[in-house]
Amino acid sequence: MTKNNVEINADGTIRGLSNLAVQMIAFGGSIGTGLFLGAGSTIHRTGPSILLVYLIIGGFFFLIMRAIGEMMYADPQQHTFVSFIGKYVNPQLGYFAAWSYWLELVLAGMAELTAISTYFKFWFPGVAPWVIQVAFLLLLTLVNLAMVRSFGRSETLLSGIKILAILALIIIGIYLITTHHQNPAGTNASWGNLVHHFALFPNGAHQFINAFPMVFFAFQGMEFVGITTAETKRPRKVLPRAVNQIIGRILLFYIGSLLIIMAITPWNTLNPSESPFVQIFKLAGLPAASQIINLVVIAAACSTLNSAIFSTGRHLYQLAEESPTRGMNFLTKVSKNGIPITSVLFSAGMMLLAPIISSFNSLSTAFAFIASVSSDIYILVCMLTMVAHYQYRHSTDFKTDGFKMPQYRWSNPLTIAFFLAIFISLFFNQSSLFPAVGALIWAIVFNGWLAYRQRKLTVTNSEESL
């Protein structure tokens, strides 16, 4: 239905997101504090070969985005790509994936709230963290409740700040390299720093392998595009363009910034515990580098939190729509502005646990572990999504003239195998072993409970029929 040139879905939600907003949402989810603060740690592990890790993982994320894009193109009314798991694989696994992914997004939002209060204290150390967290959560929730276009504009602004910071680094870096800037350590900025004493595994093959999960999670959030389709203008025109452009631009920003960083100064001279952006801006003679990057990481955290509120709301709304239980009916309410208001409020309300948790050290430790478990479950959701795509290709819903994933017969199984390899690699690293075990336990217990509930329901129905 169209009203005042605004397309309204049958459920009352509004298609108000433009192509630019959709791309910025993907940027907001996948380019965050991991790049601005954590890139130094990944560079320290593998040196210039980290670029190869980004290229490989970027290629596989492109394939999963094409798989998601193909299914969303065929059915643009879906509010989340996870719904295809229940539709094409198994309702029980779909239920598991849906709730696990929603929980992962809530925990991600809570983590960003904690990060925002940490960065904000750089300027206002006397303000209580819970005050900062509640204020930012309230502000971004109100933005999400206004109109879908308001969310799109806010995400465009926040993601734009991050992009400007990366472009500034690249431009300043090219200038330093062109002028052969001499660093305080006595080295010069030069493209030769990328290949000088190059070794594929400078700290051992195990560090190279361990870099894959770290970089994998840096791309997490790109799939947010698969949660915007139902509220995107002309989705079958915007979706293919957004999917095809996003991966190239993200790789450009990631690889471009890492190339510049390692060309300005030899990779082994970087401090892994300090933001490489701060280090490079200081080399360029910008005394306010810490101030600038602190502003950028706050914008990055706000962007991810903003997208998390949007995504959890739509995800929970889809769950409620598909749920046979009446207890979830209240989560299907859509406001006059086309926002699934109760689902957004409920999801944002869950994130209010962050201020409580951050007040207790013991809870903070437990939260860090649960968040790690949830991130590992994300890999399982990715695998199930690819299985759903393969099943879709063999279903009657398959659109021969759709936005098809290239060479799916080999690219789909290869992507599943790669995600499985990433998950298995978690068990060979002491820091990721226990969260990986926790993810397996969650999957087994959750699906075991679902199977038990289904059997009990079947027995009850059989007894009633007799």
pLDDT of residue 28: 65
Report if residue 117 sits inside a domain: yes
Q: By three-state DSSP, how is residue 429 classified?
A: coil
Helix (H, G, I), strand (E, B) or coil at 137: helix
When divided into structural domains, the chain yields a total of 1
Please give the Cα distance from 143 to 147 (Å, whole number). Answer: 7
Poorest-pLDDT segment among 30-39, 58-67, 312-321 = 30-39
Q: Which amino acid is at 208?
A: F
Rounded Cα gap, residues 393 and 51, in angstroms: 33
The tokens for 93 are 């696994």
DSSP-derived secondary structure for 91-135: HHHHHHHHHHHHHHHHHHHHHHHHHHHHHHTTT-TTS-HHHHHHH
Tell me the mean pLDDT in the region 28-54: 81
Query: What mean pLDDT do residues 97-116 have?
Result: 87
Q: Is 102 exposed, middle or buried (0-12, 13-18, 19+ CB in 10 A)?
A: buried
Whether 3 is covered by a domain: the verdict is no
pLDDT (mean) for 39-45? 84
User: Above 90 in pLDDT, residue 411?
Assistant: yes
6 confidence band (pLDDT: 50, 70, 90): low
Per-residue pLDDT band at 362 (split at 50, 70, 90): low
6 lies in some domain: no
Residue that wins the pLDDT comparison between 322 and 102: 102
User: Residue 182: helix, strand or coil by DSSP?
Assistant: strand
Task: Read off the pLDDT band of 392 (50, 70, 90).
Answer: very high
**Gap between the Cα atoms of 80 and 67, Å rounded:** 13
Nearest alpha-carbon partner for 376 in 209, 220, 247, 254:
220
pLDDT at 89: 93
pLDDT category at 52 given cuts 50, 70, 90 is: very high
> Residues for the chain: how many in total?
466
User: Is 201 within a domain?
Assistant: yes
Question: Of residues 350 and 222, which shows the higher confidence score?
Answer: 350
Owning domain of residue 75: 17-465
pTM equals: 0.87
| Encoded tokens for 245 | 């452009």
Token pair belonging to 137: 């959560």
In a domain, 243, yes or no: yes
* Residue 433 falls inside a structural domain: yes
Q: Over the stretch 156-215, which tens digit does the pLDDT of each residue have?
A: 888 888 888 888 888 988 999 999 988 877 888 899 888 877 778 888 888 888 888 888
What percentage of the chain has pLDDT greater than the value 70?
Answer: 92
- Indicate if the pLDDT at residue 316 is higher than 70: yes
Task: Please check whether residue 4 lies inside any domain of the structure.
Answer: no
Neighbours of 352 (CB within 10 A): 16
Calculate the CA 133 to chain-centre distance: 20
Q: Which long-range contacts (CB under 8 A, 24 or more apart) does 360-367 make?
A: 367/107, 367/110
- Averaged pLDDT, 234-241: 83
Mean predicted lDDT score pLDDT of the chain: 84
Domain membership of residue 8 (yes or no) is no
Which residues are within 8 A (CB) of 352 and not within 5 positions of it... i.e. 6 or more apart? 134, 137
Interval 248-302: pLDDT, tens? 877 888 898 999 999 998 888 888 878 888 888 888 887 788 888 888 888 888 8
Per-residue pLDDT, 273: 79
Q: What is the CATH number of the domain that holds 298?
A: 1.20.1740.10
